[in-house]
Amino acid sequence: MTPVGGTVRGLLRLPVGGPVDLAAVEPRSTPGLPGPEVTGVDAKAWARDQVRLVGAGLARQQEMLFASARAGGSDRRVLLVLQAMDCGGKDGTIKRVAGAMNPLGLHIRSFGPPTAEEARQHFLWRIRRELPQPGHVGIFNRSHYEDVLVPRVESLVPEEVWRARYAEIGDFERELTDDGVTLVKVFLHISYGEQAERLLERLTDPGKHWKYDPSDVDARARWADYQAAYAEALGRCGTDEAPWFVVPADRKWYRDWAVAHLLRETFDALDLGYPPAGFDVRRERERLLGTEERSR
């Protein structure tokens, strides 16, 4: 299961504290993917199978996480933060990777433009309300990182306001880590050309019109500004406990494979197991058998 040449985590992890050069990551590349001697001639089909296999393992680990919280009093939880340009594949990743897990233990939340109520509050207010409970896997489809991207590029607030948010995010995420949250922060990195193709598909297929928003083209016109905003945010907000990962995302099958592996390696590091019984098994068995003879 482990890709050739080390872990996917290691390969995709951005340096902490340093500036980030997103242009140096080729969106069509497939870091960590084994060669044809492992995948056979059809790497795509192989990767799709692996997502299902890894997904089944994730489901087992997710159950242990859930059990540890419910019966073992653990406060452990996992939070996957997904960020990307429009059409970057956040929805598709959730469908494929989270789709393999038990929906009962998932808490998925999409963050759109702030509502009037949300805009009146601190930018972390709506985020705090949606944190996963102990034992759960949370997935944020966009997140608090939007607040150092959109307001900056669209000049919605003064620079000192959005710039101060880097430190606020650092404090917030440290607090989460202390509370048992393992953060997995992923930037799905697509190319300018791939975005055009996907937007065109949404305009061409009537069954996909609902996914299209004219503002997507406005944001596309500011591509370079958004890339710069991402580069600074990812560089400033990565820490040893909660690093940022960049997943090349022009190839959907690689993207799903990489995110599934990132999660798998994250779970492996948690070293989970089922909690021991918090009751006397023999005595409970006797109590249970004692109810057998009773009439209904």
Give the footprint of its own copies on residues 183-222 (CB under 8 A): 192, 196, 199-200, 203, 206-207, 209-212, 214, 217, 220-221
Least distance (Å) between residue 3 CB and its own copies: 25
Query: Nearer to its own copies by C-beta: 122 or 287?
Result: 287
Alpha helices for the chain (secondary structure H)? 8-12, 36-39, 43-70, 90-97, 116-119, 125-128, 150-153, 159-178, 192-204, 215-220, 223-236, 252-270, 281-290
Which of the stretches 1-9, 41-49, 94-102, 230-238 binds its own copies when contact is defined by CB under 8 A?
94-102
Alpha helices for 129-222 (secondary structure H)? 150-153, 159-178, 192-204, 215-220
Question: Does residue 265 contact residue 32 with C-beta atoms inside 8 Å?
Answer: no
Query: Nearer to its own copies by C-beta: 196 or 269?
Result: 196
Q: Which run of H or of E encompasses 139?
A: strand 137-141
Query: Applying CB under 8 A, which of residues 52, 70, 122, 174 lies at the interface with its own copies?
Result: 70
CA pair distance 206, 175, nearest whole angstrom: 45
Question: Does residue 183 contact residue 127 with C-beta atoms inside 8 Å?
Answer: no
Query: Nearer to its own copies by C-beta: 3 or 138?
Result: 138
CA pair distance 228, 220, nearest whole angstrom: 13
Query: Nearer to its own copies by C-beta: 50 or 68?
Result: 68
Query: Applying CB under 8 A, which of residues 91, 118, 168, 232 lies at the interface with its own copies?
Result: 91
Query: Applying CB under 8 A, which of residues 52, 95, 128, 174 lies at the interface with its own copies?
Result: 95
Token readout for 50 is: 């692996």
Spell out the residues 6+ positions from residue 36 whose beta carbon is closer than 8 angstroms to its own.
43
Query: Nearer to its own copies by C-beta: 70 or 174?
Result: 70
What string marks each residue from 28 to 67 as x (binds its own copies by CB under 8 A) or -? ---------------------------------------x
Question: CA angle 72-174-7, nearest 5°?
Answer: 75
What string marks each residue from 136 to 155 as x (binds its own copies by CB under 8 A) or -? ---x-x--------------
Question: Does residue 114 contact residue 126 with C-beta atoms inside 8 Å?
Answer: yes
Query: Nearer to its own copies by C-beta: 116 or 277?
Result: 277
Query: Nearer to its own copies by C-beta: 80 or 246?
Result: 80
24: contact with its own copies by CB under 8 A: no
Query: Applying CB under 8 A, which of residues 81, 94, 169, 247 lies at the interface with its own copies?
Result: 94
Least distance (Å) between residue 110 CB and its own copies: 7
Question: CA angle 284-286-292, nearest 5°?
Answer: 110
The DSSP-derived string for 53-79 is HHHHHHHHHHHHHHHHHHTT----EEE
Spell out the residues 6+ positions from residue 9 whose beta carbon is closer than 8 angstroms to its own.
245, 262, 265, 266
Query: Nearer to its own copies by C-beta: 35 or 290?
Result: 290
User: What are the residues binding its own copies (CB under 8 A)?
Assistant: 67-68, 70-72, 91, 94-95, 98-99, 101-104, 106, 108, 110, 139, 141, 192, 196, 199-200, 203, 206-207, 209-212, 214, 217, 220-221, 223-224, 227, 274-277, 279, 281, 284-285, 287-288, 291-292, 294, 296
